[in-house]
């Protein structure tokens, strides 16, 4: 049996100081050292500045590349973000400390214009979970002339280095709370609950190229055949976001570290279900690749003896087809399947919500309509490049950034996240 303990160190305040440490729920950060660690020796980074953005402040962060939670491996094999920051040794066991309540946000120059925004106050703050975290924001400029993929990689690695640096501040701090996650062999039933249904989590990672990429142990998953991994590996940073996609349903690295589906399946393992494992798949571009991955993934899920499956995806349009192939294949094998997806149903909610459908997909949980429109007032402070807001997905052309701007939820980071990690919910009137 494999065990991972997550020790939570609450962070209730962040301030700049002469060194980086945690004391009495305050994270004190040496600003210049943070910037130095984030830049590393990467010659592609021209400049970087660091800022603090707190909940309730009149601050807009735009455009946002990634969000990462600072963590540190204190016991067990490997290190945080294996294959990128630490070595390639498998992770997911031992003990990891979490600086809970804060995050590293990368912003500034970005590769594309689909990246979104975080408002720390006002109506936009209601839709992004990162308006509730204490954010250390890195605004990064890269050197002219590098390729788009180098640009993305430079920003991605800078954010990971910064989060690793901050996470080290919690290495010798005693956690306030601890969670224990036990990973058992999938064919071994837990305790005496032999009649509990066995569930598998199908974790679809975006991997369509064109800067729509996700990394597993440092490798792009574009050519990955579906494979089994422990949910605890995800908590240790084995999956990292490299995506430059619409902000509303982008799975940032923070989302992967705190995947609520994995955490809930662990919580209920042995209570009303058996958590058999996580099958990681990808979302492809061509029909041939979609069929290959879906059919192979269904075979892997079936081999685990699953009675049911939960499917999550990332993005909209093209990935809808991958999800429907998985769902159809699993249902045809008698494996009851639930899918989580957001909707792009038009501003009025009257359009088709998903780009592909299947009669087998009869249990779908909606994460919200990303085309829903709200009005955002100007903020007193902007971190990043406010000019980009006029070009973001879901924002009408010609918007004036210094005035109120009408946006669709797809421009707000995490608004309709398809892992269910968000602030939207449904209620009966």
Q: What is the pLDDT of residue 428?
A: 62
* 424 part of a folded domain: no
**Which are the catalytic amino acids?**
244
Choose the most confident range, by mean pLDDT, from 123-127, 147-151, 390-394, 425-429. Answer: 123-127
Beta pairing partners, 52: 136
Give pLDDT tens digits for 197-227: 999 999 999 888 778 899 999 999 998 999 9
Q: Is the pLDDT of residue 15 over 50?
A: yes
The residue segments making up the domain with residue 233 are: 2-411
Domain assignment of residue 418, yes or no: no
Residue 86 covered by a domain: yes
DSSP notation for 62-107: EEEEEEE--EEEEESSS-SSBTTTB-S---S-EEEEEEETEEEEEE
Say how far apart CA 133 and CA 11 lie, in whole Å: 9
Q: What is the Cβ-side half-sphere exposure of residue 411, based on CA atoms within 13 angstroms? A: 26
Q: Is residue 40 part of a domain?
A: yes
* Residue 429 placed within a domain: no
Q: Helix axis angle, 287-303 relative to 318-332, nearest 10°? A: 40
pLDDT at 400: 46
pLDDT at 396: 61
pLDDT recorded at residue 186: 67
Nearest alpha-carbon partner for 316 in 367, 383, 265, 363: 367
Spatial distance between the Cα atoms of 221 and 296, rounded to a whole number of angstroms: 15
In sign, the C-alpha dihedral spanning 257, 263, 264, 265 is positive
Q: What is the largest CA-CA distance in the chain?
A: 63
Q: Is the pLDDT of residue 185 over 90?
A: no
Q: What is the pLDDT of residue 187?
A: 54
Instruction: Say which residue the tokens 């149903």 belong to.
Output: 345
Q: What is the mean predicted confidence (pLDDT) over 160-186?
A: 95
- Report the number of distinct structural domains present in the chain: 1
The pLDDT confidence band at residue 114, using thresholds 50, 70 and 90, is low
31 is a domain residue: yes
| Pair of tokens at residue 373 | 């429109």
Section 282-296 average pLDDT:
92
Mean pLDDT of the chain: 91
What's the confidence (pLDDT) of residue 285?
A: 87
Query: What is the average pLDDT across 161-171?
Result: 98
| Mean pLDDT computed over 139-144 | 93
pLDDT for the residue numbered 192 = 46
Q: How confident is the model at residue 351 (pLDDT cuts 50, 70, 90)?
A: confident
Residue 366 has pLDDT above 80, yes or no: yes
Residue 212 per-residue DSSP state: B
Q: What's the CA gap between 14 and 104, in Å, rounded?
A: 12
Contacts of 192 (CB under 8 A, 6+ apart): none
* pLDDT at residue 112 in the model: 60
Asked if residue 427 belongs to a domain, the reply is no
* Per-residue pLDDT reduced to its tens digit, 220-238: 999 899 999 999 999 999 9
| Of the candidates 189, 273, 275, the residue with the CA atom closest to the CA atom of residue 232 | 275
Residue 416 lies in a domain: no
CA–CA separation, 101 and 113 (whole Å): 28
Q: Is residue 119 pLDDT above 60, yes or no?
A: yes
What is the model's pTM? Answer: 0.94
- Looking at residue 390, its pLDDT comes to 66
Looking at residue 12, what is its pLDDT? 98
Cβ atoms of residues 166 and 20 within 8 Å: yes
């Amino acid at each position: 049996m494999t065990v991972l303990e997550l020790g939570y160190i609450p962070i209730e305040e962040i301030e700049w100081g002469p060194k980086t440490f945690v004391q009495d729920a305050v994270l004190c950060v040496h600003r210049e050292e943070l910037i130095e660690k984030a830049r590393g020796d990467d010659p592609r980074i021209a400049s970087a500045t660091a800022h603090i953005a707190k909940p309730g402040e009149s601050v807009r962060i735009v455009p946002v590349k990634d969000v990462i939670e600072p963590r540190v491996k204190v016991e067990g094999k490997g290190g945080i973000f294996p294959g990128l920051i630490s070595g390639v040794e498998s992770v997911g066991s031992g003990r990891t400390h979490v600086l809970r309540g804060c995050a590293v946000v990368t912003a500034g120059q970005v590769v594309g214009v689909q990246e979104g925004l975080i408002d720390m106050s006002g109506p936009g703050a209601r839709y992004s979970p990162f308006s509730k975290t204490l954010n250390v924001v890195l605004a990064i400029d890269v050197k002219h002339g590098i390729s788009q993929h180098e640009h993305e990689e430079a920003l991605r690695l800078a954010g990971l280095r910064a989060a690793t640096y901050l996470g080290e501040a919690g290495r010798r701090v005693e956690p306030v709370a601890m969670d224990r996650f036990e990973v058992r062999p999938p064919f071994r039933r837990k305790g005496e609950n032999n009649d509990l249904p066995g569930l598998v989590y199908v974790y679809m990672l975006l991997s369509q190229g064109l800067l729509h990429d996700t990394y597993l142990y440092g490798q792009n998953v574009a050519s990955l055949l579906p494979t089994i991994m422990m949910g605890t590996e995800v908590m240790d940073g084995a999956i990292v976001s490299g995506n430059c996609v619409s902000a509303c349903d982008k799975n940032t690295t923070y989302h992967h570290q705190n995947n609520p589906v994995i955490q809930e399946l662990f919580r209920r393992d042995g209570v009303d279900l058996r958590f058999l494992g996580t099958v990681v798949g990808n979302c492809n571009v061509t029909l041939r690749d979609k069929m290959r991955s879906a059919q192979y993934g269904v075979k892997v899920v079936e081999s685990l003896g699953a009675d049911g499956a939960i499917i999550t995806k990332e993005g909209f349009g093209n990935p809808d087809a991958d999800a429907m192939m998985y769902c159809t294949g699993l249902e045809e094998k008698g494996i009851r399947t639930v899918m989580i997806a957001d909707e792009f149903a038009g501003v009025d909610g009257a359009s088709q919500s998903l780009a592909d459908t299947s009669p087998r997909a009869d249990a779908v949980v909606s994460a919200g309509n990303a085309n829903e429109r709200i009005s955002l007032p100007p903020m007193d402070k902007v971190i990043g490049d406010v000019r980009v807001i006029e070009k973001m997905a879901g924002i009408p052309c010609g918007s004036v950034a210094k005035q109120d701007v009408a946006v669709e939820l797809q421009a707000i980071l995490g608004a309709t996240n398809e892992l269910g990690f968000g602030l939207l919910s449904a209620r009966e009137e």
